[in-house]
């Protein structure tokens, strides 16, 4: 398990630092195959999602959104609720993050997601 955690942290670091956009596809594959979960991805993104640097936050949200586009069907209702709340709060962040936030919301409102409709009453 520690090897998977280290691997995930490496993928996140390389993507967020702008070194390799292809790491998003590798991360999504890891989630699809059960190598790591969306929760583990969010934990690995922790520092980038709370960074004072808007570019780092933007890249972190971008990675999460790209992974969700590939893995949305496996999310539980509770995970969708939490992610919608997260994205709702990110709409208040720097304008550079907005396109990635919308990308994530779009993935979460896909018809294939077991949608918790009350969670969609977002206060935008």
Structurally, how many domains does the chain consist of?
1
pLDDT band of 50, cuts 50, 70, 90: very high
What's the CA gap between 57 and 48, in Å, rounded? Answer: 5
pLDDT band of residue 118 (cuts 50, 70, 90) is: low
State which residues form the domain around 73.
2-120
The SS3 call for residue 90 is helix
Q: Is the pTM of this model over 0.95?
A: no
8 A C-beta contact, residue 56 and residue 95: no
Residue 4: what pLDDT?
87
Q: What percent of the chain has pLDDT over 90?
A: 71
What tokens were used for 105? 């919301």
d(CA 20, CA 61): 15
Distances from the Cα of 121 to the Cα of 77, 89, 109, 118, angstroms:
15, 13, 12, 6
């Amino acid at each position: 398990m520690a090897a998977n955690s280290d691997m995930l942290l490496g993928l996140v670091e390389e993507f967020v630092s702008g070194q390799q956009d292809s790491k998003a596809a590798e991360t999504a594959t890891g989630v699809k195959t059960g190598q790591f979960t969306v929760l583990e991805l969010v934990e690995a993104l922790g520092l980038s999602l709370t960074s004072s640097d808007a570019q780092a936050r933007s890249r972190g949200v971008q990675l999460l959104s790209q992974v969700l586009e590939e893995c949305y069907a496996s999310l539980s209702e509770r995970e969708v609720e939490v992610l919608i709340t997260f994205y709702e709060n990110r709409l208040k962040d720097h304008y550079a993050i907005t396109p990635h936030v919308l990308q994530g919301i779009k993935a979460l409102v896909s018809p294939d997601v077991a949608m918790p409709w009350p969670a969609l009453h977002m206060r935008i």
